[in-house]
A and B are shown apart, each in its own frame.
Chain A
């Protein structure tokens, strides 16, 4: 009976061989496909399996993972500061994440190749790898002041504060906003319902108005137009005269470009500084038409407008002065209307460029990433984005912008003992809604001082129609943020 027994033995080995082959096929070849199957809830569990890194702003914890008693979901994500930092931190939902949580996901969850050494060490020592901690450039005082002041306005709006010297973003606020905590629960159905509710909200709380939306910049854009004008002719200065008629005839149209409320601008021929202080439209419309579209576009590009897409690390919507049309359109674009569309971040970069002697720094949010043991993974390296203008031009513009605050439409931005530079703006909107109030500023702005903060903000429908009323709404908000940064 031995020969059939041997054949049976062979059959048995064949069966085990088949089982082994199949197991190899499943766990080797098909593993990836099965792992990504949407019905495999393990992906969902895995998200809560590692202790995700913290997101901090200095010593303030903005997001952290805390251990739960639940064996299924080992860690839960919480945001102690809730709404205030939501546009920065984003959230960590069961199937997606947003903003810093998304942009730095592989570092936060520890899967990044940059953490390979850490992971190898952990494997060796048998400790569970934790995610890396992300420290932001946000200044908590500025962020909180901005959130408080913007919320207090009761309107929608956004604010960005930058350190002009480095490009570090000190505050980024968008209101209305959302609480990331309910969106970060380990409960798909609950989170989806909460998200759907926010997504359907007419006030768009999920939208980060500071970087994901563009608005016509209104008169704040005159800073760019003025920069182009000064760069074009270096003999010009704040006291150089310019024509400022009550109405500017727009060629090939029946329409004119008036000043706000058809008001006069001085006696019809004013200094450049006065034109900026009072935010007259006609001189700037004229400047734009005289310089031409290409020169305006070039100047805008030097501020980073319309260049390659910024990532801070979240992607920033593109700003643009609009396509080339006729001279009339150019005149309107030169005062920040028509198809001129800017993100609040872009306008903050304009202010920061003036403040930083004409050099625009690349804005960034992440200060430092360190692994769980404190080992440095990456550190911010401030980078120049472009040179917007010469140092001389920057000094002249600074002087004029200081005059805007001291003598012009932005008196509400004055801080006792600090020289503040600024520019108000009123952006006409379509429909019957009130115009948006803009304000860009930086401080300290004395002739030999080094500005520490540049701010741009918009309050939607925050203006009664002229720069002065918009300045009354927007400038105090910027002031409170600058005070927070300057420790006033």
Chain B
């Protein structure tokens, strides 16, 4: 038996100062953009600039302090990246509010950001060990289900813009699906960790694909049914695609079996075709996707006008963009929520969009890195799932508004105006930060060379 080395294992750097600097950088960029809007529209720095800057800077400093205290080893990039995206979203909403775009309210979004940061802090403080979530696997599943179906319940459910995805809460509405996502992901992670061996190993080999046993198909069929239910009953294509896709990805991470992906894709395609045959609105989306410039579809209610307005906005932006406050993103219906990406594209151009996509990609990459560095399967699955969820959501909505894939409504994470999604996403980030703290925290070091008996510092 070898003697443990007296040399301590090199510790990963905490990089707290770098994180603070990057955070300040993100806030400064946001404030610069904010000043830019004011200068372009009114020719002067907006009067609320100081309040605004102090609030945003203050929130982020608070988030940083909590993080430094309760998750000191966390990845230093995650918080600054999220701050930048959230800040740019705030500026865009402020800019749209300046020209009286329908529904835009920067103050409300700032308030939600504050609540989001509070939830981030609370999550970090309360959830000292995320593995506690593993014990709540089935509870989380039940909570997710209840949240998901809650808009369908009478009394509390509400129908807005033809989608029944809202519930009434004191002081407004909430989109429970946003929170349901998190709960379901916790459930998927916990469930798959428990069952992955049987899902991965049992089965028959047909040609070059390992087929699972029929009885193991249960979970995937249930999730599929659930997604279709959401799709059919709530007309929420986006969330349905989001949940199902993430589930397939997690199933693949857990079992490493391509057959699950194939089965999942086939099930989804089948479901989508079926839905297209049955429901007009699904078919309409498909037609719009194939030929958005069609003059007939353009003038039709629920036709391609919104998508085209987004594309027009992006074309106007070109490579360098019109500059904040100098375009007409208010021409795009719903520029504050689903279509905030083309609105950014008009004013910041291709350059801005590439940078923004890069920021999202970096964020996802940091999450996946956490997942790879994690030491236990539950953390790996949860971090991987949450990261994929983010990437998948960006892909669905950005791909939708840029006509890469059929458009399904989803918010752009951290940018779109809307409290539920912002709050849920800040909790998601808190979970990632928590797990990254755990993953990067150095393994216990031997205090001294004690031969066979070692005393660890914890």
Q: Which residues of A contact B (CB under 8 A)?
A: 1-9, 11-13, 15-16, 18-20, 22-24, 26-28, 30-35, 37, 39-42, 45, 71-72
Contact = CB atoms under 8 A, between A and B. Distances in A.
Contacts of A23: 314, 345, 350, 353-354, 357, 402
A9 B253 CA distance: 11
Contacts of A71: 41, 99
Contacts of B402: 19, 22-23, 26
A72 B314 contact: no
Given A9-B365, A12-B388, A23-B357, A31 B318 contact: yes
Contacts of B441: none
Q: Is the contact region of chain A dominated by helix, strand, or loop, or is it mixed? A: helix
Interface stretch (B203-211, B281-289, B393-401): B393-401
Contacts of A72: 99, 328
Contacts of A20: 354, 357
Given A4-B253, A8-B249, A42-B331, 20 more contacts: A2-B372, A6-B372, A8-B252, A8-B253, A8-B388, A12-B387, A12-B388, A15-B399, A16-B358, A16-B360, A16-B364, A16-B391, A23-B354, A27-B314, A27-B353, A33-B315, A34-B311, A39-B298, A40-B316, A42-B313
Contacts of A6: 372
Q: Is the contact region of chain B dominated by helix, strand, or loop, or is it mixed? A: helix
Q: Could you say which of A5, A15, A37, A42 has the most chain B C-beta atoms within 10 Å of its C-beta?
A: A5
Contacts, number: 133
A361 B249 CA distance: 81
A59 to B, nearest CB: 29
A358 to B, nearest CB: 55
A37 B249 CA distance: 40
B388 A37 contact: no
B235 interface: no
B262 to A, nearest CB: 14
Contacts of B381: 1
Nearest to A32: B315
Nearest to A9: B368
B91 to A, nearest CB: 17
A20 B316 CA distance: 17
Contact of B253 (A5, A28, A30): A5
Interface string B345-379: 10001100110011011001100100110000100
A12 B364 contact: yes
A19 B404 contact: yes
Given A19-B357, A27-B314, A72-B328, A5 B404 contact: no
A5 B328 contact: no
Contact of B256 (A1, A26, A28): A1
Contacts of A31: 314-316, 318
A445 B253 CA distance: 100
Contacts of A41: 328, 331
11 contacts: A1-B253, A1-B380, A2-B372, A5-B371, A8-B252, A16-B357, A16-B364, A26-B311, A30-B315, A34-B311, A42-B327
A15 B298 CA distance: 28
Nearest to A12: B391
A71 B254 CA distance: 54
B384 interface: yes
B369 to A, nearest CB: 8
